[in-house]
A and B are shown apart, each in its own frame.
Chain A
Amino acid sequence: MNEMDNSYYRKQKSIQRFFDVTYSIFRALLVIGISFIIIYPILQKISVAFKDKVDIYNPTIYMIPTHFTWENIDLAMGILDYFPMLGKTLLFVIVTTLLTTASCALAGYGFARFNFPGNQILFAFVVMTILVPSTTLMLPYYLHFKNFDILGVVSLFTGKSGVNLMNTYWPSIITSATAIGLKAGLFIYIFRQFFKGLPKEIEEASLIDGAGGIQTFFRIMLPNSVPPIITVVLFCFVWQYNDTFYTTLFMSGMELMSLKVATLSSQANQFIPVLMGYSHGSGFKADPNHVAMVVDTGILLAIAPLILMYIAVQRYFVESIERTGIVG
C-alpha cells in the first residue's frame, strides 16, 4: 500500500516538474521574443551607424558590417549641429522639468491636505485638463503668446500691444511654472494621490512643534515624497524631450532635438552633397540609401542621451511607480 502511494506521488511530482519546465521554456521564449521586437530597431540603427557606404549594396551583410566607419556619425552630427543643440535642448528640458515638478508638487499638496472651499471642484478641473485634448487650446495659445500681455501690464508701460514670445523658451517656461504645461494635470494627480496616502500624524507633529504650513511642506513632506518626485521628474523629462506638439506650436524656429530630428531627412538630402564637397548648384544628388543611413544615425544620436539616462535610472522607474500610490 505504502509503495503504491509512493510511486503515485513520484509520478505526480514528475508530471508537475515536466509542466514547470515546459512553462518556463515557453515564458522564456515569449520574453525573449517581445524583447527582440523592442530592441531590434535600436540594434539595426547601431549597425547602420557604423556601416561604411561600401557595404550598402552588399547583400551578404546582416547586422555586422565588414567595413566600419565613423563617417555616418560625423555627417549626422554635422547636420544636426549635435553638441550645441543637445546642450540647448537639455537646458530647456531640465528647466521646464524642474518648474513643472515644483509647481505640480505644490498644487498636489494643496489639493491633498487642505479643506479650502471649492477643493473638490477645482480638482475636478485638474482632471479636466488631463482629459481635454490639447489641440483645442492650440489656437488661443498661439494668439496669446504672440501678443503676450497679462492684464494689460505691458501695454500700460510701453504702449505696445504685448510681447511676441514666439520662438523663445518663455511660453513653455510660463506654462510649466503654472502647472498647466505638458501633461501637468497627470503629475498633479500623482502628487495628490501620494500626499493623501501619507499619514496625517507626521504633519500634525510638526505643526504642534510650531512649524508653519509652508515650513512643514519643505522640511517634512518633501523629503518624504521622493518616489513621486522621481516618477514625475523622469516622465516629465522624457516627455518634454520627445514633445513635438508644444515645440512646433511655440518654437518652430528653434534648435531643439525633437524639431531637428523630425526634419532630418530633408536636411540630410540638402547637406550631404555640400558636406561631401559638392557645391549647391552642381546638381549632385546624394545616394538615397546613404541619406537613409545618415537619417538612421541621426535618430540614434537623438535617442542616445535618453537611453544612457534610462540605463542609469531604469530601476527607479518601477520602484517609484509602485510607491507613488497611484495604485492604492
Chain B
Amino acid sequence: MKWNSMSLHRKRSMLGFVFIAPWLIGFLFLYLTPLVQSLMFSFTKLVIQPVGYSLEPIGFENFRNALLVDANFNRVITSSVSQMLISVPMILFFSLFSATLLNQKFRGRTLARAIFFLPVILASNAIASAEQAGLINLIGSGAYLDEMQADLSSYNITSIVYMLMDVGIPRSFVDYIVSAILGIYDIITSSGVQILIFLAALQAVPSSMYEVAKMEGATAYECFWKITFPMVSPLILTNIIYTIIDSFTGSPVTTLIYSVAFETQNFGLSAAMSWIYTIIVALILVIVGFVLSKRIHYN
C-alpha cells in the first residue's frame, strides 16, 4: 500500500503507531515476553546450563512449595501486606493534612514546601540499607538492633496508651494510634509524592466556590468537608494506588524473592512467589478500586 494512496484517517492512525513504536517494541519484547516466561518458569524446574537454560515442567509444585514448604514466604508476605494495609491510611491522612496545611498562606511557606518534599528525593533503599548496616556494625548484632531501635523511639509511649485507654478508645484503635506515633518518621518520609499530588489537586479547586460558601456563612470546617474533600476525592484513589505500588520497591518480599532466585538458585520457586505476590496485590487494588470508585465525586 502506498503512503499517498491512503486516506487521511488511515495516515493519522499509522502515525500513531509510529509514535508509540518504541514503547510497543519494548512492551512486546521486554515486557510481555518476560511476563509470559515468568509465568512459565513458575510451573517448571529451571536449570541454568552452560548455554542457556533447560525447563522441566512440574505443575503446581513451586506454588505448593512457596505456600506450604518454604519457611519464610508466608510470614514475610503476610507481614508486609498487613504493614502496607496499616500504613496506607496513615500516609493518606498525613499527606492530605500536610497538603491542606501547605496550601494555606503563611510566612515561610516556600521553605516549608521545599522541606516537605525533601523526602521525595531522599527516599532511597540504598541509604536505608547503608544506615541499617552502619547501625548493625556499631552495635555488633542485628538482633540487638531491633531492641535498641524500639528503645530509642519509645519516649515513654505508655503514658499515652494509658490516657487513650482511660478515655475509652477501643484497644485495637489505640494500638493503631501508637504505631502511627512510633512510625511517624516512616510515614512522613514516604508521603512526599502524595503531598505533591494532593497539593496540586487543592490548587485546582476554584476559589469562587469558597467565596460563595463563605457568603452563605459556611465555617472553615464545613468548607473542608463540603468543598475541599469532594473535590480532591478522585485523587485519593490515585494516591492509594500510588502508595501501594510504592511499597513494592523496598518491601522484604522483593528481597526474599531476589535471594531465593540468585542465592539459592531456585528460580522456579522464586517465579512462583512473585506471581503469588502479584495476585495478592492485584486483588487488593481491585477491591480498593471497586469500593472507592463508587464513593468518589467526579466533576
Asked if residues A130 and B245 are in contact (CB atoms below 8 Å), the reply is yes
> In this assembly, does B285 line the interface, its C-beta being within 8 Å of a C-beta of chain A?
yes
> In this assembly, does B228 line the interface, its C-beta being within 8 Å of a C-beta of chain A?
no
User: Binary interface profile of A, 304-328, with partner B (CB < 8 Å = 1, else 0)?
Assistant: 0011001100110110011000111
Asked if residues A27 and B106 are in contact (CB atoms below 8 Å), the reply is yes
Residue of B nearest to A115 (CB): B13
The secondary structure that dominates the A interface is helix
Asked if residues B101 and A136 are in contact (CB atoms below 8 Å), the reply is no
Could you tell me the distance between the alpha carbons of A132 and B123 in the complex, rounded to whole angstroms?
21
Could you tell me the distance between the alpha carbons of A191 and B22 in the complex, rounded to whole angstroms?
15
Partner of B101 from the list A27, A38, A263, A326 (CB cut-off 8 Å) is A27
Q: How far is the CB of A103 from chain B (nearest CB, A)?
A: 4
> In this assembly, does A229 line the interface, its C-beta being within 8 Å of a C-beta of chain B?
no
Q: How far is the CB of A58 from chain B (nearest CB, A)?
A: 17
Could you tell me the distance between the alpha carbons of A106 and B19 in the complex, rounded to whole angstroms?
5
Asked if residues B134 and A245 are in contact (CB atoms below 8 Å), the reply is no
Q: How far is the CB of B65 from chain A (nearest CB, A)?
A: 16
Residue of A nearest to B281 (CB): A133
Residue of B nearest to A182 (CB): B249
- Pick out which of these stretches binds chain A: B28-36, B66-74, B166-174, B207-215: B28-36
**Most chain B beta carbons < 10 A, residue from A34, A140, A245:** A140
Q: A238-B121, A315-B110 are in contact. Are A180 and B30 (CB under 8 A)?
A: yes
Q: How far is the CB of B111 from chain A (nearest CB, A)?
A: 8
Q: How far is the CB of B179 from chain A (nearest CB, A)?
A: 16
> In this assembly, does A174 line the interface, its C-beta being within 8 Å of a C-beta of chain B?
yes
Could you tell me the distance between the alpha carbons of A119 and B116 in the complex, rounded to whole angstroms?
38
> In this assembly, does A131 line the interface, its C-beta being within 8 Å of a C-beta of chain B?
yes
Q: How far is the CB of B44 from chain A (nearest CB, A)?
A: 12
> In this assembly, does B63 line the interface, its C-beta being within 8 Å of a C-beta of chain A?
no
Partner of A302 from the list B104, B127, B189, B248 (CB cut-off 8 Å) is B127
> In this assembly, does B117 line the interface, its C-beta being within 8 Å of a C-beta of chain A?
yes
Could you tell me the distance between the alpha carbons of A2 and B200 in the complex, rounded to whole angstroms?
47
Asked if residues A136 and B27 are in contact (CB atoms below 8 Å), the reply is no
Q: A39-B118, A103-B23, A133-B248 are in contact. Are A288 and B203 (CB under 8 A)?
A: no
Q: A119-B16, A238-B121 are in contact. Are A180 and B137 (CB under 8 A)?
A: no
> In this assembly, does A271 line the interface, its C-beta being within 8 Å of a C-beta of chain B?
no
Asked if residues A306 and B278 are in contact (CB atoms below 8 Å), the reply is no
- Pick out which of these stretches binds chain A: B85-93, B144-152, B156-164, B253-261: B253-261
Could you tell me the distance between the alpha carbons of A181 and B200 in the complex, rounded to whole angstroms?
26
Q: How far is the CB of B221 from chain A (nearest CB, A)?
A: 12
Residues 1 to 41 of chain B near chain A (Cβ within 8 Å):
11-27, 29-35, 37-38, 41
Which residues of A does B touch, CB under 8 Å?
24, 27-28, 30-31, 34-35, 37-39, 42, 103-104, 106-107, 109-111, 113-117, 119, 122, 125-126, 129-144, 147, 150, 161, 174-175, 177-180, 188, 213-214, 217, 235, 238, 241-242, 244-245, 248-249, 257-259, 261-266, 268-269, 288-289, 291-292, 295-296, 298-299, 302-303, 306-307, 310-311, 314-315, 317-318, 321-322, 326-328
Which residues of B does A touch, CB under 8 Å?
11-27, 29-35, 37-38, 41, 51-53, 98, 101, 104, 106, 108, 110, 112-127, 129-131, 133-138, 140, 184-185, 188-189, 196-197, 199-201, 203-204, 235, 238, 241, 245, 248-249, 253-254, 257-258, 261-262, 267, 270-271, 274-275, 277-278, 281-282, 285
